[in-house]
Structure 1
Amino acid sequence: MAHWDLVAKKHLTSVILFSLARISSWYLLASCSVVIAARKFDRLKATAEELNNTFSSMSPAKATPIQCNIRKEEEVEALVKTTLNLHGKIDFLVNNGGGQFASPSEAISAKGWNAVIDTNLTGTFYCCKAVYNAWMQEHGGVIVNITAAVRNGFPGMSHSGAARAAVDNLTKTLALEWAHSGVRINSVAPGIVFSETAVANYGEQGVVMWLKSIPKVPAKRSAVPEEISPAVCFLLSPAASYITGITMVIDGGQSLYGSSLEIPDHNRWPSPPEGRNSEMLKKLISGEFKPKL
């Protein structure tokens, strides 16, 4: 039986473009060396320190923070070069950098549109291209792109919906083009994922947006980041050795839900993994959550 423990390969290096920090923690537990990258170094450094302090007794691997703006190709190439200098190889790339803002389509400026496209689509392409040219073309590897469950459109965020749909197609295209190099590439498309930071990013609209979305999810709750990480790790692992070019949707059934079937309110869905995100999600649903704006 295929084993999806990443420790099957010793001393691995994974380049993580920081957005969902909990993904990084799974790699550290699997004894993978991790590089996390983002534009804001203070937040990035704090995340790396938190990860290293938390997992130092469980894993010899470390998280290394490197500042990088993925909108700039030269910075991405420098990130990849630095990672190879530090670790000598890159087995995995996880593209989970992204950003968007809520707005009706007619009100999105060219600057706002380009900023979201450059981060969510172009930045992902730069990272895939740089890692492939510098390492995976000759040595193979696995790439996972984090997109979003936007198959039926993304009202209120057309810029992000367009970019995420494009990444989905990019994933399929690269899976074909790079198969001869031994590269597997897949996407993970989360639905509504709750975290304090995610809600706060949308300001006063955040709580309202999340509460309005929950009734439309058959699970009748949001996901938390800890429910996305295992899917990413599975796709990187030997258990997924024959899987490439797919998009794994993790949305509690939301993309299947139509107006033809009314799902009553319930609390029968399994609880999310214990932790701060889970506790804050409970407070959101009960009306006790106050985002730090």
Structure 2
Amino acid sequence: MSQHATGYRSVFREGLFAEKVIVVTGAGSGLGRCTAHELASLGARIALIGRSEEKLNTVRAELAQDHGEPSGGHRVYPCDIRNEQQVRDTVGRIVAELGRIDGLFNCAGGQFPAKLEKISLNGWDAVVRNNLHGTFLMSRECYTQWMQSHGGAIVNMLADIWGGMPGMGHSGAARGGVWNLTETAACEWGHAGVRVNAVAPGWIASAGMDSYDEAYRALLRSLKQKVPLQRFGTESELASAAVFLLSEASAFINGTVIRVDGGVPNARHSWPLPPAERTIQYNGFPRYQAPAGLQDDAAP
């Protein structure tokens, strides 16, 4: 394992992404922020994308403080990924200012808990546009403006959608669309040396959990007993899977999904899960803080 000056502990070799430019959406917080840190610790220049310029600037300052400034530096690009023209212009700026795009992590997304019959068309549209349309627009523009002629790697964000997603049907439908988009793009763009894969997190103790109301946080606190590994995941455990798929080590992996969920889809009602006797938790991110609503539950 490489040990960096800040204490960031990555399982990948130092300098793995030296001279590479990686675009990370949703980079202002949570999983996007953590992944940006891991990539920066490995030498990448990061194009940080999100809607809040203030949050992006905070993460950019963290990257410079923790990992130093690579040649050309990290850059902040406020952008609403649901807006086609903004996405087109933003990707054009990245190519012009950073000179290349070697990887894209489509981490941005969002949803809210609701039964299907309670979801308005506006609510449905907002989630689908963010999770599905935004992923498509970012992928298409990175491909047409750079990767089509130079190759690259794209990693999309799914979720624990296997067997449906009751309580978040809008997000499940959108993520299901991203899954099919991932497989389609892997076929259509493979000839150009572009690999397209996805990560599917289960219940990761990330800052995004704090956006839910107390009733839903109470439900979340009960969920680790339904995980065969009997715990929540960390941001680093999801980030490391995305980083692997962006790296040269996955050069023959295309159109696939890595589940980062502790085995949740494999749990069965016919098999009572015994209490965990032991588990290994990986957390390489020294700035990581468990969600406020799960402080006591995020530990193994």
**Structure 2 residue 148 is the aligned partner of structure 1 residue 137:** yes
Query: Could you tell which deviates more after superposition, 43-52 or 155-164?
Result: 43-52
Look up the SS of the partner of 1:192 in the other structure. coil
Q: Which residue in 2 is equivalent to 1:74?
A: 85
Query: 2:196 is matched with which residue?
Result: 185
Aligned twin of 1:37? 49
Q: How far off its partner does 1:285 sit?
A: 2.1
Match of 1:290 in 2: none
Taking the TM superposition and a 5 Å limit, the aligned residue runs for 1:190-201 are: 190-195=201-206, 197-201=207-211
Unaligned runs of 5+ in 2: 1-10
1:167 is matched with which residue?
A: 178
Structure 2 counterpart of 1:14, one-letter code: I
Q: The residue matched to 1:215 in structure 2 has which SS?
A: helix
What SS does the aligned partner of 1:90 have? coil
Matched, 1:101 2:112: yes
Deviation at 1:279, TM superposition (A): 9.1
Deviations 1:122-174 (A, max 9, x none): 00000000011101111111100011121111110000001011101100000
Q: 1:61: Cα distance to partner?
A: 7.0
| CA distance 1:8–1:53, shift in 2 (3 Å) | closer
Amino acid at match of 1:95: N
Cα distance change, pair 34–216 in 1 and its aligned pair in 2 (3 A): same
CA shift in 2, pair 1:142/1:260, >3 Å: same
Question: Structure 1 regions of 5+ residues with no counterpart?
Answer: 288-293
The answer to whether the 8 Å contact 2:210/2:292 transfers is no
Q: Which moved more, 1:217-226 or 1:120-129?
A: 217-226
CA distance in structure 1 between the aligned counterparts of 2:90 and 2:213, rounded to whole angstroms? 32
Amino acid at match of 1:222: F
The answer on whether the counterparts of 1:5 and 1:237 sit within 8 Å (CA) in structure 2 is: no
Q: State which drifts further: 265-274 or 158-167.
A: 265-274
Once structures 1 and 2 are overlaid, which stretch shifts more, 126-135 or 37-46?
37-46
Classify the secondary structure of the residue corresponding to 1:131.
helix
**Distance in structure 1 (CA, Å) of the matches to 2:195 and 2:56:** 28
Larger deviation, residues 260-269 vs 169-178: 260-269
Q: Distance in 1 between matches of 2:200 and 2:109?
A: 13
Q: 1:68, CA displacement in angstroms? A: 0.2
Match of 1:25 in 2: 37
Judging changes above 3 Å, is the alpha-carbon distance between structure 1 residues 243 and 192 closer, same or farther for their aligned structure 2 residues?
same
Aligned residues of 2:72 and 2:98 also touching (Cα < 8 A): no
Distance of 1:272 and 1:153 partners within structure 2: 28
Deviation per residue, 1:171-193 (Å, 9 max, x gap): 00000001111110100001011
Aligned residue identity for 1:145: N
Match of 1:215 among 215, 225, 228: 225
SS at match of 2:297: helix
Find the residue that maps to 1:266 and give its secondary structure.
Answer: coil
The code of the aligned residue for 2:23 comes to V
Please, which of 146, 153, 164 is the counterpart of residue 153 of structure 1? 164
Classify 1:148/1:266 alpha carbon distance in 2 versus 1 (closer, same or farther; 3 Å).
Answer: same
- Residues 132 and 252 of structure 1: is their aligned pair in 2 closer, same or farther, counting only changes over 3 Å? same
Cα distance in 1 for residues equivalent to 2:57 and 2:137: 23
Contact 1:6 1:32 in 2 (8 A): no
Q: Is the 8 A contact 1:272 1:278 kept in 2?
A: no
What TM-score do the two structures reach when normalised by structure 1? 0.90
Counterpart of 2:22 in structure 1 is 14
Considering only aligned residues, what root-mean-square deviation do their CA atoms show, in Å? 2.2
Q: Distance in 1 between matches of 2:202 and 2:14?
A: 26
Query: Could you tell me which amino acid in structure 1 is paired with residue 63 of structure 2?
Result: L
The farther-off stretch of 37-46 and 93-102 is 37-46
After TM superposition, the structure 1 stretch with the greater mean CA deviation from structure 2, 108-117 or 254-263, is: 254-263
Aligned residues: 283
Structure 1 pair 38–175 and aligned structure 2 pair: CA distance change class (3 A) = same
- Partner-residue secondary structure (3-state), 1:228: helix
Alpha-carbon spacing, 1:112–1:266, altered in 2? closer, same or farther (3 Å): same
Counterpart Cα distance in 2 of 1:76 and 1:279: 30
